[in-house]
Every structure is written in structure tokens, then in C-alpha cells.
Amino acid sequence: METKTILIISAVAIIFLLESVFPHYRGRATRVRHGAPHIITAILNSLLTKFALVLLTLWAINWAESRSFGLLHVLSLPPIAETVIVYVLFDIWMYFWHMANHRFSFFWLFHRAHHSDTEMDTTTALRFHPGELVLSTLFRLPVVILLGMSFAQLVFFEVMLNLSTLFHHSNLAVPEKFDRALRTVIVTPNMHRVHHSIEMNETNSNFTSLLSVWDRIFGTFRTRKDTHTITLGLPEFRELKYQRLWGFLITPIK
């Protein structure tokens, strides 16, 4: 877990620096003020995870292992094959879970706190409401049990997910040709900027978190010819107060 934390902090710092040198959206003078509430939120979420959600997840994994319950326990494949299967299947679950956060109003109350950011950058990847974190953990527990995942496999997936999320939320100016090549496999900044568009038909697209193939397979893939023309955020949460920590936290009840 300590290695995971170090990797994430390092990635945030490196991408945040690169955004300053190679920005997609230019003229952002208050990047530190913008990112500060997201850093504080990440700290709150990490404490919540460390003292409650990790224990719950460990209990579920140990319960499945003690009973040899779950897909991987039945298949008994080599470790590499198991990791690949878990990676792919859990990524599909994340796709449908993300879609559910947009389709079901109760989930959207919490997830919209993430979408209310009007100046998306790599720190936006840390902008998830604690309520959404709790819901995500509770709903993924049955998936973890059914797959028969080990804790190490789950941590590996989460590290890859976090690194991907930091990258595709970033304000990095990735050349479109390079971005197009990358998004044949993974989610890229230009692909995810469409998802954070103020236009709801674009917000309700590009749900995948790691492998871009799921949006293509399930018909939710969408692009914008010029992503510089995208207005980010949500119409009802554009006031400055909703960009600050307290406004972000109370978004679900507004």
C-alpha cells in the first residue's frame, strides 16, 4: 500500500509539472488553488479507505479464499493468466459501474461532484466524493468475491487504474495523432475530455477507465474533432463555490 501511495503521489507531481509546460487548455493562472481541494479530498478518501474500506475488502477476499470460492479458484491458472483475466473482467465491471453512476439518479448525486470541475486537470482524478467511494467499494465486493481475486491482484488493478485516471484527466497537450493511436488501446486525455463536456450527450459517453475497447464494443465511444472547443463541467454547478472544498462536499444534497 505504501508503494501504491508513492507511485500515485509521484505521478500527480510529474503530470502536474508537465501540464504547466505543455498545457492543452492555456491561461490557467490559479492551478494550485484549483488543485488544493482535490488534494484534501484525496487525503480524506485515503483515510476512509485505510481505516474502513480496506478492512471490509480484506474480509471479503479472505472469506472467498477460505472457501476456494470464485472464478480464479475454480480455473487454477498460472499467475500471469489469472492477472490478465482479472484485469480484463474487472475493467468491464468498472465500465458498467461508471455507466450506472450516470444512469441512476442516486449514484449520480455523488458522481456529479466529480463532473462539476470546470477546469479539468490531473488533480481532477482525485476529485471523487467520499460517498461515491463508499458506494463503489460496497458494490464491487460481490465482484471481487465472484472473481476470487487476491488482494495483490486488486492492488495491481487499482494502481493501473489510478495511473490511467491521472493521465486521462490531465491537461496535457497530447498531439492528436498520438492521442488517436493511444486510444485504440487505452483511455486518453482527448477521449476523456469529451466525457467531461457540459453537453449531456457527450457526458454520457466514454465510460471506460482503462481499456478503450469497451466503449467501442458497447456503442458509447464518442470523439470531438477539436477538444479545445469543449466546455467542461455541469451547467448547475458552475459557481465558484462549487469548485471549493465545501461546495464540492455538499454537491450531492444541492
pLDDT over 90 percentage in the chain: 89
* pLDDT tens-digit readout, 63-83: 999 999 999 989 888 999 999
pLDDT given at position 53: 87
> How large is the average pLDDT for residues 133-158?
94
* pLDDT tens-digit readout, 206-233: 999 999 999 999 999 999 999 999 999 9
**pLDDT over 90 at 29, yes or no:** no
DSSP per residue, 183-216: TTTB--HHHHHHHTBSSHHHHTS---SSBTHHHH
DSSP H or E run through 48: helix 31-48
Of the pLDDT bands very low, low, confident and very high (cuts 50, 70, 90), residue 236 is very high
Q: Cα separation of 91 and 111, whole Å?
A: 18
195 touches 207 (CB < 8 A): yes
**pLDDT over 70 at 1, yes or no:** no
168 touches 192 (CB < 8 A): yes
Question: For the chain, what are the domain ranges?
Answer: 2-253
* Four-CA torsion 212, 216, 220, 224, nearest 10 degrees: 70
Nearest to 215 by CA among 203, 205, 224: 205
* pLDDT tens-digit readout, 100-118: 999 999 999 999 999 999 9
> How large is the average pLDDT for residues 50-72?
91
Backbone angles phi, psi at 172, to 5 degrees: -70, 140
* pLDDT tens-digit readout, 161-190: 999 999 999 999 999 999 999 999 999 999
Helices 151-168, 2-21: axis angle to 10 degrees equals 10
pLDDT given at position 30: 87
What does the DSSP 8-state code read for residue 218?
Answer: T
Neighbours of 149 (CB within 10 A): 29
* pLDDT tens-digit readout, 130-141: 999 999 999 999
Q: Could you give the 3-state DSSP secondary structure of residue 232?
A: strand
* pLDDT tens-digit readout, 82-101: 999 999 999 999 999 999 99
> How large is the average pLDDT for residues 2-14?
89
